Chain A
Amino acid sequence: MSDVVEKTLTALPSLLSLDSQSGAGKLSSTSKLGGLIRSITELTSKHEEEKLINRELAAIKEQVSSPNTSMRQMKEIMVRAIYCEMLGYEASFSYIHAIKLAQQGSAIEKRVGYLAVSLFLNESHDLLLLLVNTVLKDLQSTNLIEVCMALTVVSQLFPKDMIPAILPLVEEKLTNPKEIIRRKAVLALHKFYLIAPNQVQHIHSKFRKALCDKDPGVMTASLHIYLQLIKENPDSYKDLTGSFVAILRQVVGGKLPVDFNYHNVPAPWLQIQLLRILSLLGKDDQSTSELMYEVLDESLRRAEMNHNITYAILYECVKAIYTIYPKSELLEKAAKCIGNFVVSPKINLKYLGLKALTYVVQQDASLALQHQMTIIECLDHSDSIIKRETLEVLFRITNVKNVAVIVEKMLDFLKLCNDDYTIIDLVGKVAELAEKYSPNNEWFIQTMNVVFSLGGELMHPDIPNNFLRLLAQGFGSEEEEQQQLRVFAVDSYLTLLESDTAHLPQRFLQVISWALGEFSYLKDGLEPCKVTKLLAKLLDERNVTSESRSWILSAMAKLSAGPGAAALALQVSERYSSSLDTVLRQQALELLHLSQDPELHARVLPHGAAWDSFEVDSSLSFLDSFVSEALSQGAAPYKAPHQRQEELRQEKALSLEPYSISLPVSLSSCSITDRQSPTLLSMSSSLSGNSNELKAGSSTLKLEGVKRVWGKEGYLHQQDAVEEAAQVEEAATPALPLSPQQGGAESQQTHGDLTVVEQEKQKLASSLFVGLGSQNSTFLMGKSDSTSQQFRRKTRAADSTSSGVSERSSSSSHSSCSDFLHNNLLEDSQNSLNTQKIGVSNGTHEGPVTQSFQTANGIPEEDGEELGNPLPVIVDSDVASIGTETSKETSPFLDAGMVLVQPCSPQTELRDFVQPGSSGITQTSLRSQFPPELSQLPHSDISLLSSDHSLSLSACRAYRDDALLFVIILSNCSQSSTNGLSVQLDCKQLKVASLRGNALENLPAHSMSVCWYALLMEEPHTQVTVAGSVSYRAVPGHTQTLQFTDKLFLTDFIRPLTLSTEEYGKLWLSFSQDVRQNLKLIQGEGDPLRATLSALKEQLQLHIVDIIGSEGIVACRLLPDSPCLLHCRIHGGSLAVWLRSPLLSLPDCLLYYCQKTLEEC
């Protein structure tokens, strides 16, 4: 039959020319669908429409279930059913018939059937399984159109677990003579790659063939896959750079058939795809980037026509130029191009220009300076999307000096915004800026007040948490500063509470009550009973949630000691001691006790106690006697719910066959929550009333364990860029120069002939773009700013030190502030004054700053930060909190994982291998530098990471049983010694569980030092990139930075797991994540199973538990302790592997390496 069709198809073009507009003009006005549509348009109300459609659906239902309906009628019915569904009415009864139509209909009917299926069904729909056979059949059809339809539906929706069934057929289509089929097959494989990457891993070579396809369409399609692959792993495809460049050159040169032109531009889609790929390949890679400079230049030049599509290409070009290793000539051209975008009268181009600016200003802030007037105009644009984009640019260029103006602009926008997503995003950004660059305490508190009121319940819980932590631990190291901040906070909160509180969000109320409870004693002359009264008033408000009430009650408990407060406390506690909410009741009773017993109160809630004076006994050891007593009386030992559940599962599992399919119950997730709850419960009950932790532990807003991330580093300010430092004062005045008199008076001298409006804009510009000017030269060279590196390396505390210092500078000049307002811009002497102050603040960084942190759950921690000492230990704050988390679990290696920096004596032979140019790094000589505990470990080859004229970095991986050690060898190859050396390593995907950096004061000439990080992989990744930097001072006062990156693979973190067969069996049943795949078997002498398994064992550090007949069981663990079990069986010439693990993606990742290993064997 399909043969007939194909024949008629070839014979038909002549026939068709008679009816050239086959589909056009036919409005099928006589069809039933036409009737339906017409009658719907005649209706007047939604209700009538509903009635009509329901009638229609009933008719359809009757027709589809009638056995007499032909497939042709069915096709027409399906179209109507689709229409009804599009109007929002459900026609689920027709789904099965859609599948039937796709299965049984002829080609035309099939097409509608497939369309209906792809519109009706979801990827997880059960009925989809019925489609698999149809697709299989159609893929094998000799009819071109049927094959096309099958490929289309496959890329639209296909059940993930059925992909292996059709994969061979789709692969086969890659060699089909028809290019349309090849193209669709490539795109279908792209889709498969997206939803199940490890299924298509073995056909990478075929992708390469598709890339070389003689049909440009197929080649274009294959680029989608390459873009994805290169995004994940650019290093493996560097060799293709030349080919991509060649393709792009041909496209740009107009070598493709005219068919591919779009509005006279040669293959724009292809161009853009290639530009994206090139920018990924050239990122941070000078030699690769050099290959593409020429073609990028060519693309920029060619894309001159005034059409949207050329602008799209230009935009992509600019992005590529700024992503790859910089070349100043191209950067200039790209910057010019962005300029054209930004000033364009076309609003879409303006938008894109701003987007490009956002991308670019991170590297070259001067560009924002060039376009400052445009940015100011866009800030007042009538289109809020443009405004939003402009704020994004401003966010990236914020520094200490312009923060006030920029934050105010952002808050203005927020006040008018009603999109939740935008609010969450912007509020987070404002909070980040405020914390990072706050000019003074008062401003900070006021800004955060607005943030809390606007952000409401939407904002990220980290914001209030961080804020409270900041209040508690202080902004800087200065006690005075800290107290000032708190007093400001208390003051402003009291004012807020005295006015109407109904509109304040709950989160804000919680922050307010905590701060008042904690710090109101700091304010002189403030009666605690006044605060208590205000709080009590708040407590009675109708719209206050019980969570907030519990915060308020704990605040009252803290304040209940003062005279007069006791009576009020009594009153409140009486009311709430009968509350139905148990938490509130408990707190009310605590309040009662505390208010009546001043001694107890003083002991439990001392004023202003140091943060580390509280210790939480998280093991609840004080209950030991009680427990042992209960046990001796025959009580059953306590088991956590997850333990009980697991036991239950195991009992059940006994009745099952050992390797039967277990449904992927999300055990891991449910046990996690279960694991949490008991500890939480016991925590809050044990804590209640006996410590400050009450406020954190008892309510859901937990401070413990929250990572202290102060936002990603955005634009980092430079303290030495003090060109217009005097404007700090101006920026600090929150009232923006929108009052024309003031603005006019100030700028009269400089811009005498400008209109008032322009003057305002000028003024705004000068306050927005202050502090950007002097940096462009360093940025253009592609170096990151050297001074800001200091900040980046340092912990938050150091960061806040800087702001603390600058605060001091501004507050010390507070008295003369009013004078500044009138002559600030012109006073040169003032500038120099500020320069001095900032000089002081720089000095502070270098001096020893010691700070002790204490995490919120009360475990004291001494993390010293002494930059000046020779063997310092720096712990970043978030690492500190990680450390606390792990110390609660079992992590003996934390103690062992200290960073040691060992300076070595100068050696003559060093000069030979540390020269960056000379490739011969003598491994042995490097290895000889290893301290004994390292040299005994197995480790990888030492490779050169990065180097410059004075320092060279090498690294290797050492495999310790409990961690992967990333060993960095620093060698000073210059003639002079380097100072202030400091290493920083950064990887979000790994747990850098040991200490993270070190600063060696001096590394003498021609000497080297070795340090290492212990790394753990908690979340499986096939590979991760670690990036880091070493900063040092070769010349006094000038800090240089050497960046490096390296790749670590999953296999680096895999260790054998030794267990017995019985233990294996037990574990096997308890894991929920499993994956199965057939792998290649190594055919060698002897038993192929043994040979294959031992090959895997060698390469991947697995442990072979047992081999019985044709089956083998193998176990390993991912550091720190995530097991993965493999069950291998010979099955028809291949190795059927079944992996199980408690971690979601571990089996997938491990399988990838098994596959790779066996392919390579």
Chain B
Amino acid sequence: MMRFLLLFSRQGKLRLQKWFTPLPERERKKIVRDMTTLVLARKPRTCNFLHWKDLKIVYKRYASLYFCCALEEQENELLALEILHRYVELLDKYFGNVCELDIIFNFEKAYFILDEFLMGGEVQETSKQSIANSIEASDMLQETMEEYMSKPAF
């Protein structure tokens, strides 16, 4: 099971955080701090895996953004790397050539996509198309509702 997923910039600014197990606020802040310092300190051409306490940290950099997740002991690191990649693919499909700014300005969308992809720390849906569909369906609802509400009541 994945314990948490963090997105942060090269400057260590947090862009997205998802916790799959309950943690007190203070603990979360400490983890975010630890992760950013640990991951940002990694030199290029080193492996994408780290140890932190009893967890395995898997991270990958996409452009200016670091995707970083923590796994339990028995999980497969390579697979987690692919989970991160699939998430990026999903973001890319949704935003169209996604960049950090998309995630900054529409972070709630990024959360919605993540919620369709992972649930309770496990992969829920791996099909790119299905996820896109269900996100679209919710978004569509949004558009129509807005239109619906703005229409004058007869």
Contact = CB atoms under 8 A, between A and B. Distances in A.
Which of B52, B82, B139, B141 lies at the interface centre, i.e. has the most chain A CB atoms within 10 A of its CB? B141
Contacts of B23: 122
B21 to A, nearest CB: 9
Given A190-B120, A269-B79, A383-B46, A23 B139 contact: yes
Contacts of B78: 308-309, 311-312, 315, 348, 352
Contact of A87 (B14, B96, B127, B129): B14
Interface string B101-117: 11011111101100100
B76 A145 contact: no
Nearest to B83: A269
A596 B23 CA distance: 59
A385 B129 contact: no
Contacts of A108: 138, 141-142, 145-146
A268 B83 CA distance: 11
B53 A9 contact: no
A112 interface: yes
Interface string A320-356: 0000000000000000000000000001101110010
Contacts of A746: none
Given A33-B105, A124-B22, A309-B79, A385 B126 contact: no
Interface string A65-83: 0000000000000010011
A33 B104 CA distance: 10
| B interface bracket (residues with beta carbon within 8 Å of A) | 35 or more
Nearest to A112: B108
B79 A155 contact: no
Interface in B8-30: 14-17, 20, 22-25, 29
B49 A385 contact: yes
Contact of A187 (B86, B122, B136): B122
A146 to B, nearest CB: 10
A145 B138 CA distance: 7
Interface string A87-100: 11000000000000
B122 to A, nearest CB: 5
Contact of B144 (A9, A28, A124, A157): A9
Contacts of B81: 308, 348
Contact of B51 (A33, A119, A385): A385
Interface string B72-88: 00101111011000100
A312 B124 contact: no
A155 B144 CA distance: 28
Contact of A352 (B22, B77, B112, B142): B77
A184 B117 CA distance: 11
A379 interface: no
B12 to A, nearest CB: 12
A1002 interface: no
A115 interface: yes
B134 A107 contact: no
Given A5-B145, A348-B77, A82 B140 contact: no
B6 to A, nearest CB: 11
B62 interface: no
A122 B120 contact: no
Nearest to B133: A180
A308 B123 CA distance: 17
B11 to A, nearest CB: 11
Contact of A16 (B50, B124, B136): B136
B119 interface: yes
A5 B124 contact: no
A1062 to B, nearest CB: 42
Interface string B45-57: 1111111111000
A382 interface: yes
Nearest to B101: A27
A315 B75 CA distance: 11
A124 B27 CA distance: 14
A9 B120 contact: no
A978 B111 CA distance: 67
Interface in A234-271: 259-260, 262, 267-269
A311 B108 CA distance: 33
Contacts of A25: 95-96
Nearest to B115: A152
Contacts of A115: 108, 111-112, 115
B69 to A, nearest CB: 15
A141 B107 CA distance: 27
A380 to B, nearest CB: 14
A183 B106 contact: no
Interface in A159-217: 180, 183-184, 187-188, 190-191, 194, 217
A183 B124 contact: yes
A534 B104 CA distance: 63
A615 to B, nearest CB: 43
B126 to A, nearest CB: 5
Contact of A122 (B24, B101, B141): B24
B96 to A, nearest CB: 4
Contacts of B47: 347-348, 350-351, 383, 385-386
B143 A22 contact: yes
A86 to B, nearest CB: 6
Contact of A23 (B17, B25, B106, B146): B106
A315 B76 contact: yes
Contacts of A351: 47, 49, 77
A333 to B, nearest CB: 19
A543 B49 CA distance: 39
B126 A188 contact: no
B134 A22 contact: no
A1131 to B, nearest CB: 32
A718 B95 CA distance: 61
A112 B107 CA distance: 11
A221 B124 contact: yes
B112 to A, nearest CB: 7
Contacts of B52: 421
A8 B144 contact: yes
Contacts of A260: 126-127
A156 interface: yes
Contacts of B86: 262
A190 B82 CA distance: 23
A585 interface: no
Contacts of B126: 220, 260, 262, 267-269
Which of B52, B122, B135, B140 lies at the interface centre, i.e. has the most chain A CB atoms within 10 A of its CB? B122
A507 B64 CA distance: 45
B138 A111 contact: yes
A148 B14 CA distance: 28
Contact of B105 (A29, A157, A422): A29
A308 B86 CA distance: 12
A184 B25 contact: no
Contacts of B139: 22-23
Interface of A: 4-5, 8-9, 12, 15-16, 19, 21-29, 33-34, 37, 79, 82-83, 86-88, 106-108, 111-112, 115, 119, 122-124, 144-145, 148, 152, 155-157, 180, 183-184, 187-188, 190-191, 194, 217, 220-221, 224, 259-260, 262, 267-269, 272, 276, 308-309, 311-312, 315-316, 347-348, 350-352, 355, 382-383, 385-386, 388, 419, 421-422
22 contacts: A5-B145, A24-B102, A25-B96, A27-B102, A28-B106, A37-B105, A106-B149, A115-B108, A122-B24, A156-B119, A180-B134, A224-B122, A260-B126, A262-B82, A269-B126, A272-B79, A311-B78, A315-B76, A348-B77, A382-B46, A385-B46, A385-B50
By Cβ-Cβ distance, the 5 closest A-B pairs, closest first, are A123-B22, A312-B78, A155-B120, A108-B142, A383-B46
Interface of B: 14-17, 20, 22-25, 29, 43, 45-54, 74, 76-79, 81-82, 86, 94-96, 101-102, 104-109, 111-112, 115, 119-120, 122-127, 129-130, 134-146, 148-149
Given A4-B148, A382-B43, A385-B50, 10 more contacts: A12-B140, A16-B136, A107-B145, A115-B112, A155-B120, A188-B119, A188-B120, A221-B122, A308-B81, A315-B76
